[in-house]
Structure 1
Amino acid sequence: MVNLENPYMLSGTKIQDGSCKMLVTTVGMRTQWGKLMATLSEGGDDETPLQVKLNGVATIIGKIGLAFAVVTFAVLVQGLFSHKWHEGSHWSWNGDNALELLEYFAVAVTIVVVAVPEGLPLAVTLSLAFAMKKMMNDKALVRHLAACETMGSATTICSDKTGTLTTNHMTVVKSCICMNIKELGQSEKASSLFSEIPDSTVKLLLQSIFNNTGGEVVTSKDGKLEILGTPTESALLEFALSLANGVVLELPEGGLRAHTKGASEIVLAACNKVINSKGEVVALDEASLNHLKVTIDQFASEALRTLCLAYMDLENGFSPDNPMPVSGYTCIAIVGIKDPVRPGVKESVAVCRSAGITVRMVTGDNINTAKAIARECGILTDDGIAIEGPDFREKKQDELFELIPKIQVMARSSPLDKHTLVKHLRTTFGEVVAVTGDGTNDAPALHEADIGLAMGIAGTEVAKESADVIILDDNFSTIVTVAKWGRSVYMNIQKFVQFQLTVNVVALIVNFSSACLTGSAPLTAVQLLWVNMIMDTLGALALATEPPKDELMKRSPVGRKGNFISNVMWRNILGQSVYQFMIIWYLQAKGKDMFNLEGPNSDLVLNTLIFNAFVFCQAFNEISSREMEQINVFKGILDNYVFVAVLGSTIIFQIIIVEFLGTFANTTPLTLSQWLVTVFIGFLGMPIAAVLKMIPV
């Protein structure tokens, strides 16, 4: 608003009406617009919280896998040379020894391949792409894939007010007509006034609204009524349309009638008469005046924009020599107008609060309106602070650091205020910040945030270009849906890593310990590569496409500094690894006696049994990994057709490898009883996983 105290206009703004002269004081990057554009080039290339954590996990796993591979290869080669040395005093070397050495090298390389989580990027991409597609159905257009998971780590949301928390549609919600206060807002309630107000007052009210307006009611091509004009004019016209369809001003007795409307205190001060409950024009006595003033104060305390409608019959006509009088009006009504809170916003804010996400309102509106809306939404609490932008700007750095965590509402904020708040929340306090906005002025904050959410309906192109996600319905409830999908992505990737690390730990330790103790590895290179495909490609497909659950929004956010591999994951990984390792070692030690294996083919059959049991351990562990804490892992499994298809394909290909690819995979066909035993060994991992989940961490 340009006035004597603030006589500056920003470049790019438009004049709504009137005329003026303008003096250009600054141009280019020195203007406020230039400063805003400069902030858009700052930063923006930071890795997401999940990317940082996954890079660390992948690096550690890769180093451990490489170390195990080198040691395993060294032990196997040392065993080969020791064996050759003891064969005789003279060193001998032939082609079979070279092939054996090459096989050891292949085993070592395969251990590295199994250990290095090359399927991790695939799992992440699949999960993000799946979430992106599903979020489109929930009115959220994802522009950057990484934004899906970033929202799951969000610890605070800096939300705009108009259009996001509110409907961006001004509406008459309260009125005082014929000295009676009525709650309004919905058409069916407003139409009920028609029977409660005297006909004479209804006519006056409609005359006042439809004739004293800069708005217009038109009929669109599809036959619907559309209201054109400012938000305030539109609110009054919509209110009038809910009372009746229209009005024609004609005074039967002749003469002119003047209508006025405006700020309640000013217009009421120009009135000396009022319409009472019977529809009669009476003098505005002290009691009636006080009643109307109390009504105005009540409306204002509820953050309503109040307007007073009044009229006067001009007995002496109207001309330049006889201007409109400034007093002597009759008060028709006082109305309270507001931009109502969107349905479901209060519940969505409550969901955010239960999920550990702090919602902050940052708006350009005055502080009283902002506080009222924030309280209605559940954003402003007793221990929170509401502050104005000019006060925020004047604070020193140490004062800001103490103040920012308590700020729940910032009113009369400039674009740079919002940018500063977001920057401090991210860098100083380590928060993962999501920002909503619709205007060009919001672009710096959207760009600075970990995830920017632009409004699809009211948003400008600059805001959308600076954002990571576009909210197609401009609704805060959709933002909560985005957060839920983000948490689902994060959780799915954790499930996949838990499943993958279990396979890694068992495969590495089994091959390493077997090489050290027996001089051979029970799992060949081809078998390890098949296991690697199960845990990487197929595991990613199965676990990365799990849909979100409402329980996700009852947990605290992971944030920027939280551990990716949680204590719950370590419990499941280590418990399942110990079981699988013990089973494989028992089969190695007692397998021949257990299955009565004899003859020259017994070693091949035993290794096939170990391989088959190991694969089925992973198949059933994949089912257990659907839930990291819940015991019932079958809930909703049939709804995820990808998971069922992957699990079915794994079992079918395992049968083919064992029964028909013996030469290639170093396997031999098994009997029905041997199949049943190995499948049962794999199945035992599920009740063990359920028992593990009962152990508190």
Structure 2
Amino acid sequence: MKQQYSKQENSKDFEEFHHIEELKELFLLNSINDGSSFQKVVKLGGDQGLAKQLKSHLLKGIDSEAQVQENREKFGNNDPIEKEPAQLYELILECFGDTMLQILLVAALVSTIIGIINEGVKTGWTEGATIFLAVFLIVSITAGNNYLKERQFQQLRRKLDDGMIQVVRGGIVEISIKEIVVGDILQFGIGDIFPVDGLMIQGSQIKVDESPMTGESDEIKKLPFNEMTQQQLNNKDHHHYSPFLISGTRCLDGNGYMLVLQVGQNTIQGQLKLLLNQDNPPTPLQQKLEGVAENIGKLGTLVAILTFIALMGHLLYDVFVDHKHELFTLLSLQLIIEAFMIGVTIIVVAVPEGLPLAVTIALAYSVGKMKDEQNLVKNLASCEIMGGANNICSDKTGTLTQNIMQVTALWIDNHTYLNQEINITSKISKQSIEIMSESICYNSIANPTKDRNTNRWTQIGNKTECALIELADNFGFKYSNYRQNDRILRQIPFSSKRKKMVTAILNPKNQSIRIFSKGASEIILQQCFRYVSNNGAELPLDKTKKDDILHNIIENFASHSLRTIAIAYKDLEPQSQAIKGFVNAKAHVHQINEDEIDKDLTLIAIAGIKDPIRPDVAESIKQCTRSGVTVRMVTGDNIITAQSIALECGILEKNRAQQEFEVIEGKRFRDLVGGLVNAKNEEGNEIKVVKNMQIFQKISKEMKVMARASPEDKYLLVTGLIQEGNVVAVTGDGTNDAPALKKADVGFAMGITGSDVAKDAADIILIDDNFSSIITAMKWGRNIYDCIRKFIQFQLTVNLVALFMSFTGAVILKQSPLNAIEMLWVNLIMDTFASLALATEPPSIKVLDRQPYRRTDQIVSPTMYRTIVGASLYQILVLTFILFLLPKFIDCSIPEELIGQKYPKNVVQMSIFFQAFVLMQVFNSISCRQLDYHTRNPFANFCNNPLFWVVQTITVIVQVLLIQYGGKYVKVSHLTLFQHLLCVGFGIGGIVFSILFKFIPEQLCQKIHLFREEEIKTEKMDDTLTSKLRRKSTMRLHTSQRSKHDIGSLKKMSSDKL
């Protein structure tokens, strides 16, 4: 194969591709597996020939913006594949798909026909047409609201799909993932998810997880294209060592460069996404409301049936007892149709479609505001779950600290230099500066940039490495000069397990192999047996000297909140002539065991790196304590550094009685609790649980800081805390943090420093990597829960009153006090308008001054029942008074201008009933804004939600217009000023009554449970959950999702196709 490649490389007659489909053929999975794709690249001139045809260069990339634009136009852009949101007319048609509305429309049509037959075309059509118009307006407003929310969620999804990545365009530049084009040279490293398809042209120790695309769980080793040609591999091995990198797969180990060959919808992942269009599953709160909604719906259906039966009973009595009219007449048919429409309308009103809508609106409003406050929400459920979080396991770097690293202490030449002393090169031997700086430059992968005008650095990549690179630059060593491909033999990237990074180079001075090592200072120190002294000479490093360095240098630096990094090296002397030369030396180094590489090092220096605490962290920690939330710091730093930072930011109190497990190292914690073991949950599924839960509970009561913690330790801690029944939030930035982020109730990934894998596993991305942003998420989470409770207070009151009065009127007065049109208007008020007004309440800072919600808390609390019962009782009393006694106190006679027209005698009384009913709901919505038992003032935070007052103003204006000008269309009479003011007085009385009701002890309502609530399991929702749920009403947003089986089938289908 090597000879074939060389022959092709020397030939001037390479094959050329002329269409984007030919690039797609390289990524047919079968062709990758059998080596056909590799041979095709060989025929195209290898990686160099392919890059040339793409107008790119393997070292320089695409070096002109014009060429970037040309490639974008020719091969497409890398915009994310997303489902096109439903159009407005589609959402309207979806609403009209509801069975109850269809029945109501059919009944309205029959009513119109009968009306025209009885009264003629001129007036007979009005009632039916009015119902048609009312239904259309309700559906249009609801669909419009859903349309706006879908557009808002689409914008958030687009934000999530974006990110920054480094490519070579004349030099290393950072661009948006959306800006990648075919021909770009893309840099990747551990934890990155490949956003495009490409060919690896350079890399070391690359291992890839291709399971998201191929279903294979094994780690796949990858080799650069040129190394493939040198390995003389058999065709059967092409799959496991191919240089092709597939979009959507993850880099598990190593770092390198790839030539981009497919972007956007042309990638394997893009074509798969075209087949998979999934919606968001319902959130836990929406599930919890299922039981409430179901019971309200059942109650409404029962009342509707009883009301219809009562009206039919009166009809039959009039026909067979009073003989007022015959049964088989148009009049009887019209009365039957009217009774039927009343019954159907009661069901439409009773079904609480506003409940899920309110959750959706609250989430949409909240995630938009949270994004403005540096929280990018991926999983909608996480917003509301944060309302119950009582434990936060936080990283240190970048979350509690500013992630602006700077070397402020340096031990070198057996001397310690602090702050500005470090830059005085005359004090440090030239030999020590040279070997330390070379070690830093070779043994790093970060790419910080320096502004030539301001001399300020932009730290790109690992911030610890950036600080060291800046140190080397101050000494005159430019890292870009030391990363030549013909010098670096092997790199072993940093891992949380090894806590070090190693790079082997071919020493140009004597062709020997030099190994540079950097990492956790106490680990590197134990692997060193010599150190560089003040004259550049190497002296023995015995136990006494090690102890001296450990206590007086490392621990001293750590006690001042400095992260300590040790820098070391060793030379491998050539054993024979056979390993001379780059290729042979590279092969020799790769044969050396990693344990052998770590032995017999020479210590060069120990750097103390300062990462200042964020200025608002201490106050945020105090706020968490007031909010009933325990903050635990989980860090990879040594125990002294960790304790010092915990004291500085307030996780540990300075004047405290120290407890045994307050600060603990990850290994000790793991050993004490025994790690994780397999067990079975209630459904019989196998899960991981803490082995020694009794010890864990003892530790968790005291533990605030875990030092030298690995991602496995963090996962163990999170698992145990959830096992205890806690609601746990976790922050993470590394690839290995993904299991803990996924296990947590809410996972926070760092938006700046987080790896793609961490962001993919997280529920919320902290855009600014700031701990205070978690407090923001907690505040909005509690507020979402409050908003839904406010809405439930309002809606249950309207439902109970409307159902009671409809049935009472039908039984006693032979008619419903509210006709179909009026009830549809009430339905619009209590669902769409109320959800807009109450689900968009901004959070008060006071929500953080109480304990978090528990998993077992009922959504309808005793305090809420007291409010609902009080408001319902008052309204029922007032409306009953209006219905039966009002004419005895005020004049309710029909206006003169309406005499002789087709109006019932009690039209004014029924109009006052309608007006009072609606205005009492307006004033009751003001009372429902308060949930706090201790807040008796209904006007607290009176002006903090302008949308609430806009909605209420619109409601009042439309209501007055309906009364004054609705006439025969709405079956009402216009009212006098006194009658309007009387209705306003009834509404104000509701507020007064609600204040008085708050003096009733909450304990009297403790055992009231009118509506069953669904139990929500503590595990995170599975993707298949929505396949078990069905849409319960016309107004709620569609949340169907394919099952895992269907998705698996689609993946298989796409793999066969691709």
Q: In which range does the TM-score fall when normalised by the shorter chain?
A: 0.7 to 0.9
Once the two structures are superposed, the pairs formed by residues 181-580 of structure 1 within 5 Å of their partners are: 203-204=426-427, 212-214=436-438, 219-221=450-452, 223-226=454-457, 235=467, 297-301=555-559, 304-305=562-563, 336-379=608-651, 385=662, 386-389=664-667, 390-391=670-671, 392-394=673-675, 397=690, 399-400=692-693, 402-404=695-697, 405-406=700-701, 407-426=703-722, 428-580=723-875
Q: Contact 2:286–2:356 (CA<8 Å) still a contact in 1?
A: no
Give the drift of 1:235: 4.8
Give the drift of 1:497: 1.2
Instruction: Look up the match of 2:172.
Output: none
SS at match of 2:729: strand
Q: Contact 1:159–1:435 (CA<8 Å) still a contact in 2?
A: yes
Quick one: distance in 1 between partners of 2:803 and 2:205? 79
Larger mean CA deviation between 536-545 and 73-82 belongs to 73-82
SS at match of 2:730: strand
Instruction: Look up the match of 1:118.
Output: 353
Q: Contact 1:206–1:246 (CA<8 Å) still a contact in 2?
A: no
Does residue 608 (structure 1) correspond to residue 911 (structure 2)? The answer is yes
Once the two structures are superposed, the pairs formed by residues 580-595 of structure 1 within 5 Å of their partners are: 580-595=875-890
Instruction: Look up the match of 2:114.
Output: none
Larger mean CA deviation between 561-570 and 79-88 belongs to 79-88
Match of 2:396 among 135, 148, 161: 161
Cα distance change of structure 1 residues 92 and 101 upon mapping to structure 2, 3 Å threshold: closer
SS at match of 2:885: helix
Cα distance change of structure 1 residues 577 and 232 upon mapping to structure 2, 3 Å threshold: closer
Give the drift of 1:423: 4.0
Quick one: distance in 2 between partners of 1:46 and 1:401? 36
Instruction: Look up the match of 2:499.
Output: none
Give the drift of 1:628: 2.2
Give the drift of 1:434: 2.2
Quick one: distance in 2 between partners of 1:233 and 1:485? 36
Give the drift of 1:112: 1.5
Amino acid in structure 2 at the alignment position of 1:399: N
Cα distance change of structure 1 residues 591 and 468 upon mapping to structure 2, 3 Å threshold: same
Give the drift of 1:85: 2.7
Quick one: distance in 1 between partners of 2:923 and 2:431? 75
Match of 1:667 among 967, 972, 978: 972
Match of 1:143 among 375, 378, 383: 378
What does the per-residue CA deviation read over 1:379-418, in whole Å, with 9 as the maximum and x for residues that have no partner? 3575664351542454774523551543544444444443
Quick one: distance in 2 between partners of 1:293 and 1:435? 33
Does residue 70 (structure 1) correspond to residue 283 (structure 2)? The answer is no
What does the per-residue CA deviation read over 1:55-99, in whole Å, with 9 as the maximum and x for residues that have no partner? 122122112222222222222222322333322599744222222
Cα distance change of structure 1 residues 579 and 549 upon mapping to structure 2, 3 Å threshold: same
Quick one: distance in 2 between partners of 1:21 and 1:60? 60
Give the drift of 1:222: 5.1
Match of 1:652 among 933, 938, 957: 957
Quick one: distance in 2 between partners of 1:687 and 1:548? 25
What does the per-residue CA deviation read over 1:344-369, in whole Å, with 9 as the maximum and x for residues that have no partner? 22221222222222323333444444
Q: Which ranges in structure 1 are unaligned for 5 or more consecutive residues?
A: 1-10, 38-43, 185-189, 249-260, 275-288, 310-332
Q: Contact 1:658–1:668 (CA<8 Å) still a contact in 2?
A: yes
Give the drift of 1:604: 0.8
Give the drift of 1:633: 4.0
Q: Contact 1:637–1:644 (CA<8 Å) still a contact in 2?
A: no
Quick one: distance in 2 between partners of 1:295 and 1:690? 66
Cα distance change of structure 1 residues 430 and 167 upon mapping to structure 2, 3 Å threshold: same
Cα distance change of structure 1 residues 229 and 464 upon mapping to structure 2, 3 Å threshold: closer
Quick one: distance in 1 between partners of 2:726 and 2:914? 47
Once the two structures are superposed, the pairs formed by residues 38-187 of structure 1 within 5 Å of their partners are: 48-88=283-323, 92-171=327-406
Q: Contact 1:209–1:236 (CA<8 Å) still a contact in 2?
A: no
Quick one: distance in 2 between partners of 1:423 and 1:270? 43
Structure 2 length-normalised TM: 0.51
Larger mean CA deviation between 626-635 and 569-578 belongs to 626-635
Quick one: distance in 2 between partners of 1:617 and 1:517? 23
Quick one: distance in 2 between partners of 1:121 and 1:479? 26
What does the per-residue CA deviation read over 1:21-58, in whole Å, with 9 as the maximum and x for residues that have no partner? 9999xx9746699xx99xxxxxx998643123211221
Cα distance change of structure 1 residues 343 and 122 upon mapping to structure 2, 3 Å threshold: same
Cα distance change of structure 1 residues 206 and 457 upon mapping to structure 2, 3 Å threshold: farther
Give the drift of 1:126: 1.5
Q: Which ranges in structure 2 are unaligned for 5 or more consecutive residues?
A: 1-188, 193-202, 222-248, 251-278, 442-447, 478-517, 536-546, 568-604, 678-689, 1003-1058
Let me know the Cα RMSD of the aligned residues: 4.6
Quick one: distance in 2 between partners of 1:208 and 1:353? 52
Match of 1:677 among 982, 988, 997: 982
Larger mean CA deviation between 298-307 and 554-563 belongs to 298-307
Q: Contact 2:191–2:735 (CA<8 Å) still a contact in 1?
A: no
Give the drift of 1:675: 0.8
What does the per-residue CA deviation read over 1:303-327, in whole Å, with 9 as the maximum and x for residues that have no partner? 5446899xxxxxxxxxxxxxxxxxx
Quick one: distance in 1 between partners of 2:550 and 2:633? 32
Q: Contact 2:353–2:831 (CA<8 Å) still a contact in 1?
A: yes
Give the drift of 1:202: 8.7
Quick one: distance in 2 between partners of 1:72 and 1:229? 70
Of all paired residues, the percent bearing the same amino acid is 41
Instruction: Look up the match of 1:41.
Output: none
Amino acid in structure 2 at the alignment position of 1:224: N
Instruction: Look up the match of 1:624.
Output: 927
SS at match of 2:437: coil
Q: Contact 2:822–2:970 (CA<8 Å) still a contact in 1?
A: yes
Quick one: distance in 1 between partners of 2:325 and 2:332? 15
Larger mean CA deviation between 224-233 and 529-538 belongs to 224-233
Amino acid in structure 2 at the alignment position of 1:204: K
